[in-house]
Every structure is written in structure tokens, then in C-alpha cells.
Amino acid sequence: MKMSQSNEFAGRVVAVVGGNVGVGPAVVKAFQERGARVLVGSLPASASSEVTAETNSIPVDLADPLAASQFLDECERRVGLVQILTMVAPPVETRDALAISREHMQNVVNAELVGPACMLQECARRLVSHKLEGRLISFVSMSGKTGAHKHVAPYAAAKGGLIAYSRVLAAELAGTGITVNMIATSLFEVQLAGKSDAAKASLVAGIPTGRAGRSEEAACAAMYLASEGSGYVTGETLNLSGGRFMD
């Protein structure tokens, strides 16, 4: 799939937290192709030489209470004030709801709700203090909207919380020119890596489009929400589910 290219984000400072996981590399590439100065917040879940070899990469652990301020300080030191922040979540760990310990639940909520929320908050604070417009975008999950996916209870709860938090943040920032939006993905090709053909067929069976989503399609959604043309869209959660879930 080939995305259209332009210099739409030329000179803009973009941070992609989680640019090394899931659909993150595709999002990073799309911003780079459009002229943005991209910094990657590399999550500890995995590493991607595709991203780190050509991009400013900064390790970040969203469970660390100082992660947001330290990461954004480093972005400013290297390139400048972040004007577009995109949060990409790492692959979810699955467990039966009844087998989840309190410690595991707290760890997931810290990494998938509290950490991302604090990153959005800190970025917004800096934009407001400089009286600048901006775009705050978070990849969440359809499980956070529907609660219908098995074995991901803490993750679904965290992402549902992030959706609610982002809506409140969007309402409070609406008059500043800073928009806050989310992209809810369902089943994407990166989640099918290593699975057998039979397993893949079973997973996509309930998707009306008959296939999993492509990382480039997730990147296209992020490009729209980051664009000047999306300035009238805030507090929204865009479904990327191939028609499996509809609002």
C-alpha cells in the first residue's frame, strides 16, 4: 500500500512514543516522509532497528513517574518543543481475568493508562504555556470501547480509562487549538506475526472486510488527526476494525 506524500509537516516537531512497537514504525515513517522532525520514545517492550537507525530515539518507561517530563525535556533539548504527540501501545499480554494478580493489574494500569495520560498532560501543559496549537493522538484498542475481548481485562480497563481521560482533556483544551483524539484498532497484521495460516483465518473470520488491518492504514489515520484539516475534530475515537465494530 502506497501512501500519498507531501511536506505537510515540514519543520514540525513530532514525538511518537512507542514508535518501536506495533504500528509505531509505520507511523514514524509516515511523519518522516511528510517532512516532520521525528523523535521516537522507545518503549522497553521491544526494539526496532528500522526506526532507531535513522531516527532520534529516546528510551522511555511509561511506568516511571518522571517519564513524561524527562522525555519531553530531552525532545526539546535535541530538536524543540513537541507540537504533535502520538502514543502507540505495545502488544497486549493475555491472561484469564480470574488469574490476574493485583500486582499485574496495577502494572498494566500504570503503563497503559497513568503513564500515557501523564505524557498527554505534560505535552499539553507545554503547548499551552507557549500559546501554541497542537495535536495529541493515542492509539487505544477496541477492547477499551467494547470490553468484549477475552483475556485482556486490565488492558481493556486501562484503555477505556484513557479514552475517558482524553475526552475530558479534549473538552478542557478545546479553546486552545490543541486537539485530543484516539484511534481504536482491532486486529492488525502485526498481531498475526508468527501465527499459522489456520490461526490467521480463524481470527479474521469475523471481520467484514475479510482481513486484518495494515500498519500503513493506522499511519494514515494518524496523519489525518495530526493534520491542519482535523482542527474541528477533538475528543473522538476513530474505529479501525474493518467493520467489526461500528458506532
DSSP notation for 188-227: BGGGTTT--HHHHHHHHTT-TTSS-B-HHHHHHHHHHHHS
CA nearest to 144, candidates 132, 156, 153, 136? 156
Average pLDDT, the chain: 87
Q: How many Å apart are CA 229 and CA 175, to the nearest integer?
A: 16
Residue 131 DSSP label:
T
Q: What class, spelled out in words, does domain 13-240 have in CATH?
A: alpha beta
CA nearest to 86, candidates 155, 142, 21? 21
Contact 241, 203 (CB under 8 A): no
**Which residues, listed in sequence order, are joined to residue 52 by a DSSP beta bridge?**
none
User: Whats the size of the chain, residue-wise?
Assistant: 247
Q: How far is CA 142 from CA 156, 199, 229, 243, in A?
A: 8, 20, 25, 12
Q: How many Å apart are CA 20 and CA 88, to the nearest integer?
A: 9
Residue with cell 485482556: 152
For 222-235, the pLDDT digits (tens) are: 999 999 999 999 99
Q: How many Å apart are CA 79 and CA 56, to the nearest integer?
A: 9
pLDDT at 207: 80
Residue 47 has pLDDT above 50, yes or no: no
Q: What is the mean pLDDT of residues 151-175?
A: 92
Q: What is the mean pLDDT of residues 47-64?
A: 72
The reported pTM is: 0.89
